[in-house]
A and B are shown apart, each in its own frame.
Chain A
């Protein structure tokens, strides 16, 4: 009797599982599922956003004035025509389309844009994080630019000083509806919690999709917006729903791509070849503006030798960038020699000192440079032993974040490379928060200074370090933003590097003369040359992005701005 019961139970389980197998049919829907791995967005309230994921969510429902295509040409969105710049480079005239609507049916006007700038972004009460993008230095003081309504669809923004790259800031502008925002003006708490802004209920026809729901740490869902102003002839976009599905780990995200449960996702370098062989997946390799670097500590708590150019050159010369590209990125990275990527219109290759490849990747020569700088002794056979100022074997501390597989791999490779010339590298793998607070942020000892990323030449971090391995990226159209790393007073110059000529050049790209693109290119060329020669940091590699799509997705244009036309993507 008992055996019969057990048999019945087993049979029931078998029938249930078989049933499961039978019901596993892929839904034939027009839903696009974008798999992402990592953190969720913080907010949909645009002016409170400080993270990339939030921007990407909002971007599905709200267009900016313009974006770029893969050739980095301007692609007009809410603009009726390109921004006009006065000959003196001070006045920008912006003309928006006349068919832009808020959700209540009212027209989006120039007044909405100017209100957003004057009453929200420039206000004291809101604490807009990116305020300083809209400020300029006049007589030593930071002042805001001056927006002014001209007519229903036209407004101007006036600068007092020339900034050739300011136009790129304007292209990113997205307005708030004045008719809603006035209700919350002056009250940061009410504005932060405003349901209209947190649920994107006002977006009208301003984006290809309309907000549907957001389950934190799970998915963000938007629905096709049939009224989208760019989709008038056909009722764009194609997909009924666009869902961002968040995964806690890349293994399950890639399994979901393989099984066809999601439409696209990023792929790690080591998995790229496997997915490339799959018939149901199209894999695209994309250039990015993200780079990995080793920063040398020029501050008082770094090894004294790192203040000497020859020593930095020697270290950079010892680290083989081709080896990093091949063995760690499996070919999905390219050696870097500047913060400006090859894809940027401001990249110039001619004058760069390409440390880490070719004849500038030479361990013998590296040892010779250490010797010339006073940190080595020659043996009878002519070989050089690298020594610190006390004649002891040189030991350097390299700090990076833990948990990032590639960063750890690179750190170990650097240890190995420097070990081969006799420099011992102690690796410190720490959490991101520890890296920022204990190693990067600094203050002048014995003062009441608040910790900051660059508190002047005398400031030092809590923990001593010599090299830091980090990943940054550059705005390909406006690389002058990277001045925060390399100028003496740069907000993110935690390395403590200082070069008066570099400071001048970063100023020069913001002058009237630099309105001439030839002049600007030359200036960026000179900045890159000096940095590549002085090696305040060793730019290691520019990473390539790898993305996998289900093979029935059409309309994708792989490139540095791959998603610029995502509303035109469709299923075959």
Chain B
């Protein structure tokens, strides 16, 4: 039935993917040009070191720029980059001395696991608390949840992370003070090492989810179909779970998916910094300051695609969550 009812879907997906390629090309080009026409040079950060040895700054700057082809005209740099990109060569990261693709392959997983676990943690707890808060509106628990939500939104990640480290790592000695990349990915030790980072990143998200869920639930609780369902004598659990919650889920789903999309765009940057997690957030921010354009452009490209794909998945998921929605 679903397949029959969504025959337009294939064309819709193809159309969106073509859009995605055009948008990604545009964003990559803009990013490339912005990074390259910026006033900085990869040699700027070495100024202090050069001065110790009394070096000729102009010569060193020229040497570093020539080594990476940055002395060529901008159009030539752009053409070379795009040709290489189409041939599958993402370039060489000159601030880390490794192929860009290897750099991303090594580091994406650290961001991914952190954001995925934080989102799961925040979504499960946030939705549960939000639903409970809405159902028990103006109860003590609702007030407590509201208070904690505002607290969660207000507390800066940076401060919370450092406090958690000082309490649980330094004082109680329960966790290591920083994330250990030597731990096997699928192990309890790794999961344990991620507890504090997940709480740090997830707390702000959780607070948001509580507020969104509560608000969406309250919107739907007063709707006519709820009264009808109750009048029909459906159990309250069914009314809330099947009718109210399902309708409230739609906007929440969008927010959760976009949080997941922040894997590449440094959504976890501060948490990565605090816990020493070498994720894509850290990599891309440092690349920006090092004028390492191959990394900046590659991360932007992947991020753009990811957001576009997540957006597409979200739009398609809408049609399942709410069958009234069609894109044909």
B53:A247 contact, CB within 8 angstroms: no
CB 8 Å contact bits of A256-270 with B (1 = contact, 0 = none): 101101000000000
Q: List A446-484 residues whose CB lies under 8 Å from chain B.
A: 450, 452-453, 471-475, 480-484
Q: For residue B271, which residue of chain A has the nearest CB? A: A248
B282:A248 contact, CB within 8 angstroms: yes
Answer yes or no: A118 CB below 8 A from chain B CBs. Answer: no
CB 8 Å contact bits of B104-127 with A (1 = contact, 0 = none): 001100000000000000000000
B181:A219 contact, CB within 8 angstroms: yes
Q: Which of B16-24, B170-178, B227-235 contacts A (4 or more CB under 8 A)?
A: B170-178
Q: Which residues of A contact B57 (CB under 8 A)?
A: 452-453, 484, 491-492
Answer yes or no: B103 CB below 8 A from chain A CBs. Answer: yes
**Within the complex, what minimum Cβ distance (angstroms) separates B295 from chain A?**
10
A245:B96 contact, CB within 8 angstroms: no
B97:A251 contact, CB within 8 angstroms: no
Q: Which residues of B contact A145 (CB under 8 A)?
A: none
- Complex partner residue of B51 from A17, A24, A192, A472, CB under 8 angstroms: A472
CB 8 Å contact bits of A211-252 with B (1 = contact, 0 = none): 000011111000000000000000000000000011111011
Q: Which residues of B contact A192 (CB under 8 A)?
A: 67, 92, 97
Given A42-B97, A131-B63, A261-B177, CB of A484 within 8 Å of CB of B276: no
Answer yes or no: B155 CB below 8 A from chain A CBs. Answer: no
- Complex partner residue of A20 from B40, B97, B106, B192, CB under 8 angstroms: B192
CB 8 Å contact bits of B25-54 with A (1 = contact, 0 = none): 000000000000001100111111111111
A251 to B165 Cα, complex, angstroms: 10
B54:A475 contact, CB within 8 angstroms: yes
Given A130-B60, A247-B276, CB of A217 within 8 Å of CB of B166: no
**Within the complex, what minimum Cβ distance (angstroms) separates B294 from chain A?**
13
Range class of the B interface residue count: 35 or more
Answer yes or no: B209 CB below 8 A from chain A CBs. Answer: no
B52:A475 contact, CB within 8 angstroms: yes
Given A21-B174, A255-B162, A256-B178, CB of A127 within 8 Å of CB of B66: yes
Answer yes or no: B265 CB below 8 A from chain A CBs. Answer: no
**Within the complex, what minimum Cβ distance (angstroms) separates B130 from chain A?**
18
- Complex partner residue of B39 from A130, A198, A437, CB under 8 angstroms: A437
Q: Which residues of B contact A555 (CB under 8 A)?
A: none
A92 to B94 Cα, complex, angstroms: 36
Range class of the A interface residue count: 35 or more
Q: For residue A487, which residue of chain B has the nearest CB? A: B54
Q: Which residues of A contact B103 (CB under 8 A)?
A: 216
B58:A453 contact, CB within 8 angstroms: yes
Answer yes or no: B328 CB below 8 A from chain A CBs. Answer: no
Which 7 pairs of residues, A with B, have the shortest CB-CB distance?
A481-B54, A248-B273, A218-B278, A127-B63, A43-B97, A256-B177, A50-B46
Known: A50-B64, A453-B58, A492-B57. 17 other contacts (CB 8 A): A17-B174, A39-B286, A40-B286, A42-B94, A42-B96, A50-B50, A51-B49, A215-B278, A249-B158, A252-B177, A436-B44, A475-B54, A481-B53, A481-B55, A485-B51, A491-B55, A492-B50
User: Can you list 30 residue pairs at the A/B interface with Cβ under 8 Å?
Assistant: A20-B174, A21-B173, A21-B174, A24-B173, A40-B286, A42-B94, A45-B97, A48-B67, A50-B46, A52-B49, A131-B63, A132-B55, A215-B278, A216-B96, A217-B278, A217-B286, A218-B278, A252-B274, A255-B162, A256-B177, A258-B170, A259-B169, A259-B177, A432-B44, A436-B47, A438-B39, A453-B58, A484-B55, A491-B58, A492-B51
Contact residues of A with B, CB < 8 Å?
Answer: 17, 20-21, 24, 39-40, 42-45, 48, 50-52, 127-133, 188, 192-193, 198, 215-219, 245-249, 251-252, 255-256, 258-259, 261, 432-433, 436-438, 450, 452-453, 471-475, 480-485, 491-492
